[in-house]
Chain A
Amino acid sequence: MSELFVELFSEEIPAKLQINARNELKKNIKNFFIENQIKFNENFNVYSTPNRLVLHVDKIPNEIKLSSEEIRGPNVNAPEKALEGFIRSNNTMLEKIFKKNTGKGEFYFFKKESRKIKVSDLLEKNLSEILAKIAWNKSMKWANYDLYWGRPLKSILAIFNKKPLNFVFNHINSSNKTFIDKSIEEGIKIFKDFNSYSKFFRQKGILIDQDLRKKIINNKINEIINKKNLEIKQNDSLIDEIVNIVEKPVVIVCDFDKKFLNVPSEILITTMQTHQKYLPTFDKKNNLTNNFFVVSDIKDIKGFVKLGNERVIEARLSDAEFFWEKNKTQNLVKQVDKLKNINYFKGLGSYFDKIQRMRKLSSLISDDFLISKDKIEIASSICKVDLMSDLVGEFPELQGIVGGHFAKFQGFDKEVCLAVSEQYLPNGMESKLPKKMYSVALSLSDKLDSLVGFFGINLKPTSSKDPYAIRRMAISLVRLIVENETKIKLKDLIVYTCSVYRDQGYEFDTKKIQNELSDFIIERFKNYLKEKKIRQDIIESSTFLLGLDDLLKAYKKSLCLNKNIKKEIGFETIAAYKRSSNILNTEEKISIESLGFADPGLFKNDYEKKLYKKINDIRKYFLSTGKDENYEESLKILSSIKNEINDFFDNVIVNDEDIIIKKNRLELLNMLCKTFDNYLNFTKINA
């Protein structure tokens, strides 16, 4: 049993590309072993540092045995040249060739004896192709070479069973050597196996294993925060990035001047995390502190690293503080007019036009939400002013949040400030969802305005392209409605939005927008249900009868059915419906003019009467339950028809000789199905 050990040494590969390359390499090498039926340790690892991509697979046999096989050659009638070629390519001679009839004609054959193949030979032959198969999300060329790689590839070390594997990958010859120093790329060392390799680097403080680096960084940080009574916020994507931009992590605690804590914390946090890849810390009351972590790639022997990073953050925070002090006193209301100079989108007017529309929309929504019209109109008017501030120029990702802080500083109502701050939320499936009704109203009107506008100028997303993230907008809209249980009439709102655009002189094809946008939102809604792990057949059924105005209902019903479908109340409901609808479907050909109800006077027995009574009871239930319908209760009531329906089918023959009686029985079953439609249309549910 042997190990395969490969190291690809390159210039610094960005974190995300590294992760992607590790996965690709892992997948490709696994496929290679499986396709060639070579045993290997399936729990093998691919490691990386910014400069080294390392593959280590062990428990590989040195040889594999290929069983004998008959290889078919050319047809016996083919030109002589074909046979010669066949002999040559199989490295054999004429004496060993035999003829055989296959049913499709007579062919030449050659019997390849069972033989042993060295795995190292196979690897040498295939590694180049395996490497070439790595699909980079983004790759580049350099110098005169034709190779595409994440960043310039400098050398390849490849070992099998302690011996070098020799192959050529584009312009690079593999060997058993690599560079010791990633910076100067001096000092070359020969390695025989992975163990000595990782030990060697470990002694230099370099950790090849990303998981180990992560552990060490986390341990060190935890040790410090425990000692200093601090907290950090879980931020996996930042930690994963940090882990993959260092090879010998050194955690350094730095601090900045406490005076900067007067600046809104989001600004400080964004500066630290996004711009500098620092980890901010918090006290036990969840307030930001002036301590932060830097993960250096070098031991800070002379203190330069700490000093330098503190200077950088100082400069950046001074900038932010300067802008904050300048912008916070600039009167929001007085600036609204200036939004006329800022284009919202070509064909959709300025931001001033947009907030006028949002004001009308949110004002209409405020009626449904029972919130103050004045307040939501104020929030709409000032919500985009921050786009003109220096701070949003510097921190575009903080639009809205910064505006919320300005509003707070200038003494606006608390709910208005929060609404401004949360106007862009949620931003997709995972993002935080606003809960306060003012925030929901403002966010809804922003998204509706954008959706109608983009559909109006025909910039709908296509199957492959969605440059304005319109899908995400629609998903967010769905979440706002469903997760906040808001009862708004989306259809009416879309119509109203169109009319607001029209008032501003935009000539949209209203009918077309309504249809297309409805379909689009329903599609997003279905995706949303899918994300919630709801069965596909339930998703289809729930949107069959329930439209755009009933997203919340459709969501709740499908959630409830999804939960109960395997339980008695779900199972019996569907069984009753299916038995009835199946008969109706087979009898469809007769094409009865349905009256919509059965005539009790035509009933011949108690089974019919009882079923009829039960159906009417259920109808009464659905008539009496209104907004407060308990969907589980509804399912329970539907399923309670079990006895009546079973008795009916056990004792009554629908297909009576008398066509009138038969028709009446079909009407009875039709009544049942129609009554069940009060929950949702069960036709598409797979029993």
Chain B
Amino acid sequence: MVSKIKKKTLSFQDTIFNLQKYWSKKGCVILQPYDLEVGAGTFHPATTLRSLGPKPWKTAYVQPSRRPTDGRYGDNPNRLQHYYQFQVLIKPSPKEIKKMYLNSLSSIGINHEEHDIRFVEDDWESPTLGAAGLGWEVWCDGMEVTQFTYFQQMAGVECKPVSVEITYGLERLCMFIQNKKSVFDLIWNDEGITYKDVFHQSEKEFSAYNFEYANTDNLFKIFEMLEEETKLLVEKKVSLPAYDQCLKCSHVFNILDARGVISVAQRAEYIARIRELTKSIGKVWIESQS
């Protein structure tokens, strides 16, 4: 069943370069990753906050994403607690966005005339962000490679105009392109460095931290402190610093969740608390935009 198609494999970093170049040509502001721990590219303020308010905005960036519960100590070929997303956000959503997206796939060697590209219903919701959108997950020959979403609501506020968000799962995509069964076998660059060389130790150690060593008593306290700080900053009407504190809250919550110390009922309560923070920040941000 192994493919014998020989051509120069696109490395992990070249995949990123190509996507950046492609979306740069489409007029996107190419940003660098946000310097805080977040669960997905969507949490970058360049998406959450910028999708709110009337001003047009186009951006693309790589975002390292952390999902503590998905850690598998580097033993599972498909699961990571830290991985990369390539995120595109355009407001208002352009008419030819599907075409733009399919052409972006061509730029990394996936020709839509040779592969079964399918837009499969997948409506998105983020309880912590108070956000919801309609769209698809994009399948390439049965593999999910992208999330494609029209934001309808963010931070509890209706989006007007509507932004479109495209999120590529870079590891998945590269495993498809490079025909690898394990994420750790991905070729990182043309010098033969693999994903394993770069990240295996990190997966192992962070899994141990997330599941075993994180000091939960302290984290509970830190959560309270960060929450308080966020509220104070909202009062002072500085949305961006407030949002930073809120992101930290969210990450602390994720680690507590991974440690298994949050019950189902508590879980809903914590999520609601973060959502309230996001909503109050969203309001302050929108005021600053008019």
Contact = CB atoms under 8 A, between A and B. Distances in A.
Contacts of A302: 114
Interface in A320-346: 322, 341-343, 345-346
A144 B161 contact: yes
B98 A308 contact: no
B86 interface: no
Contact of B152 (A140, A277, A308, A345): A140
A305 B99 contact: no
Interface string A279-307: 00000000000000010111011101101
B92 A143 contact: yes
B1, B76, B140, B181 — most chain A CB neighbours (10 Å)? B1
Interface string B103-140: 00000000011111111110100000000011010001
B88 to A, nearest CB: 15
Contacts of B32: none
B115 to A, nearest CB: 5
Contacts of B112: 183-184
A308 B117 CA distance: 11
A343 B265 contact: yes
B78 interface: yes
B192 interface: no
B102 interface: yes
A480 B1 CA distance: 49
A141 B114 contact: no
A276 B116 CA distance: 13
Given A304-B115, A315-B78, A151 B134 contact: yes
A453 interface: no
B94 interface: yes
A138 interface: yes
B153 to A, nearest CB: 10
Contacts of A308: 115-116, 140-143, 176
Contact of A152 (B93, B115, B121, B181): B93
Contacts of A245: 118, 120
B150 A305 contact: no
Interface string B239-254: 0000000000000000
A301 B113 CA distance: 10
Contacts of A152: 93, 95, 150
A313 B115 CA distance: 17
A312 B142 contact: yes
Contacts of B99: 183-186
A11 interface: yes
A304 B141 contact: yes
A589 to B, nearest CB: 61
A312 B120 contact: no
Contact of A307 (B98, B120, B121, B141): B141
B289 interface: no
B114, B115, B123, B142 — most chain A CB neighbours (10 Å)? B142
B218 interface: no
Contacts of B260: 341
B54 to A, nearest CB: 10
A298 B111 CA distance: 12
Nearest to A50: B119
A415 B78 CA distance: 37
A305 B96 CA distance: 26
Nearest to B3: A307
B204 to A, nearest CB: 17
Given A143-B95, A143-B162, A305 B115 contact: yes
A301 B116 CA distance: 11
A297 B120 CA distance: 12
A459 to B, nearest CB: 13
A315 B182 CA distance: 9
B164 interface: yes
Given A12-B119, A183-B112, A245-B118, A140 B150 contact: yes
B121 to A, nearest CB: 3
A100 interface: no
Contacts of A523: none
A11 B93 contact: no
A307 B179 CA distance: 10
Contacts of A232: none
B141 A309 contact: yes
Contacts of B179: 311
A64 interface: no
A135 to B, nearest CB: 16
A544 interface: no
A310 interface: yes
Interface string B149-160: 010100000001
Given A183-B102, A298-B115, A312-B141, A141 B152 contact: yes
A154 interface: yes
Contact of A309 (B77, B92, B102, B142): B142
Interface in A117-154: 138, 140-144, 151-152, 154
B93 A143 contact: yes
Contacts of A17: 121
A305 B162 contact: no
Interface in B269-288: none
Contacts of A297: 116, 118
A142 B93 contact: yes
Contacts of A341: 260, 263
Interface in A4-63: 11-12, 14-17, 50
B116 A305 contact: yes
A587 interface: no
B123 A138 contact: yes
A219 interface: no
B162 A319 contact: no
Given A184-B102, A297-B118, A302-B114, A142 B162 contact: yes
Contacts of B116: 296-298, 300, 305, 308-309
Interface string B6-19: 00000000000000
A144 B95 CA distance: 11
Nearest to A14: B121
Contacts of B264: 342-343, 346
A140 B265 contact: no
A318 interface: yes
Nearest to A15: B121
Contacts of A298: 113-116
Contacts of B117: 183
A632 interface: no
A138 B118 CA distance: 20
A209 interface: no
Contacts of A301: 114
B265 A346 contact: yes
A341 B260 CA distance: 9
A346 B268 CA distance: 11
A315 B161 contact: no
Contacts of B181: 311, 314-315
B260 to A, nearest CB: 7
A17 B134 CA distance: 12
A313 B119 contact: no
B95 A154 contact: yes
Contacts of A14: 121
8 contacts: A16-B121, A141-B160, A142-B92, A143-B161, A184-B102, A294-B142, A308-B141, A311-B1
A-B pairs with lowest CB-CB distance, top 7: A308-B141, A14-B121, A12-B119, A309-B142, A346-B265, A140-B134, A143-B92
Given A50-B119, A152-B95, 16 more contacts: A15-B121, A140-B134, A142-B164, A143-B161, A154-B95, A183-B102, A184-B112, A185-B98, A186-B99, A297-B118, A302-B114, A305-B115, A308-B176, A311-B143, A311-B181, A312-B141
